[in-house]
Amino acid sequence: MAKRTIVTMPGDGIGKVVLEETIRVLDAAGFEAEYVNADIGWEFWCNEGNPLPERTLKLIEEHKIGLFGAITSKPKDAAFEELSPELKEKKLVYASPIVGLRQHFGLDICLRPCRTYKGNPLNFIRRGSNGTIEEPEVDVAIFRQNTEGLYGGVEWSNPPAQVYDAMMTHPKFAKNFGMHPVEEISISTRIFTKKHTERILRAAFEHAKKYGYKSVTLCEKPNVIRETSGMMYKMAMEIQKTDFPDIQLWNTNIDAQMMWLTKNPENYGVIVAGNMFGDIVSDGFAGLIGGLGFACSAQINPDSGIGVFEPTV
């Protein structure tokens, strides 16, 4: 059988270090593959005006699997200042290449497992009764919706007239923001679709069923973000009731969840959330098992079979 070919994207900084070490570990474990290097990151933004070149997309399209390190990412103005002088006149705007990669290939299902390994001195500990020290076992699988929500990239500063006029039709916008000059307003949207919300929810429940987890926790904020988080919670209840009645559905708010994960992390099994909150809670749980270096992230499009694997970042 021919060896599989994996597209390696070291990126910037620590990414170049961890990717090299990752391949060393894979080789030692007997994982057989060929590796082809691809360009991504800050160097290509500065010199080409594109941190995710088309040639890299073509390689992933061909080989279907990618291994990613890390990238440097800076605010819009700072990124523009570092462009090569001949590129500045093109009025290019920096966008995160890893977010672009997820959206280009529809890698909407993101699985981030966090599990303690005995003997790791960085594992989370807490004080028990009579002054004892407890080291609870963490075994959590976090499902993050990877392409929508606050990371969808639908944003404006000094929004155009049609956007501003549309926003002004909402009474709360008109009341609370309508008195501000349009050039002083920035808008970032949080868009959820039923199709991809259902897909991440079902992926979470199916994982819980397959691996024997007793609960799926929806970690959002439906009491305040009523339309998007509210839709996700309603869909989760319908899916659980209809198709997964033997798996409990828990509902937590992201802020409370961040407190509880350092009180009783062993109580949680599968957690599912939208893009931003999934990013937050996965970093929180990674901290309990020693840090981001002990966590990992799989980004998958089940339709195309394309997957990109990276640290939890």
Q: How do residues 229-247 score in pLDDT, each as one tens digit?
A: 999 999 999 999 999 999 9
| pLDDT of 149 strictly over 70 | yes
Query: Residue 164: is it exposed, middle or buried by C-beta count within 10 angstroms (0-12/13-18/19+)?
Result: middle
The pLDDT score that the predictor gives to residue 278 is 97
Same domain flag for 173 and 233: no
Predicted confidence at residue 150, as pLDDT, reads 95
**How far is the C-alpha of 275 from the C-alpha of 96, rounded, in Å?**
14
Among 165, 188, 211, the domain-final residue is: 188
Q: How many domains does the chain divide into?
A: 3
CATH classification of the domain holding 265: 3.40.718.10
100 with 88, same domain: the answer is yes
Whether the predicted model's global pTM rises above the 0.85 cut: yes
Q: Does residue 117 register a pLDDT over 80?
A: yes
130 and 79, same domain (yes or no): no
| 180 and 78 share one domain | no
Spatial CA neighbour of 40 closest among 62, 67, 10: 10
CB-based contacts of 232: which residues, under 8 Å, 6+ apart? 192, 197, 201, 218, 220, 222, 274
- The pLDDT of residue 214 is 96
Q: Cα–Cα distance between 191 and 200 in angstroms, integer?
A: 15
- Average pLDDT rounded to a whole number, residues 216-223: 97
Do residues 133 and 275 both lie within one domain?
yes
The secondary element (H helix, E strand) that includes residue 176 is helix 171-177
- The answer to whether residue 254 scores a pLDDT higher than 70 is yes
- 140 and 258 assigned to the same domain: yes
- Distance (Å, whole) CA 168 – CA 178: 7
Q: Could you tell me if 211 and 247 lie in one domain?
A: yes
Domain span holding position 183: 155-188
CA dihedral for 179, 181, 182, 183, sign (positive or negative): negative
pLDDT score of 1 more than 70: no
Whether residues 264 and 130 share a domain: the answer is yes
Average pLDDT on 184-193 reads: 97
Domain final residue pick, 71, 104, 137: 104
Do 21 and 115 reside in the same domain of the chain? no
Same domain for 114 and 198? yes
Residues 136 and 70 in one domain: no
For residues 35 and 96, membership in a common domain is answered with yes
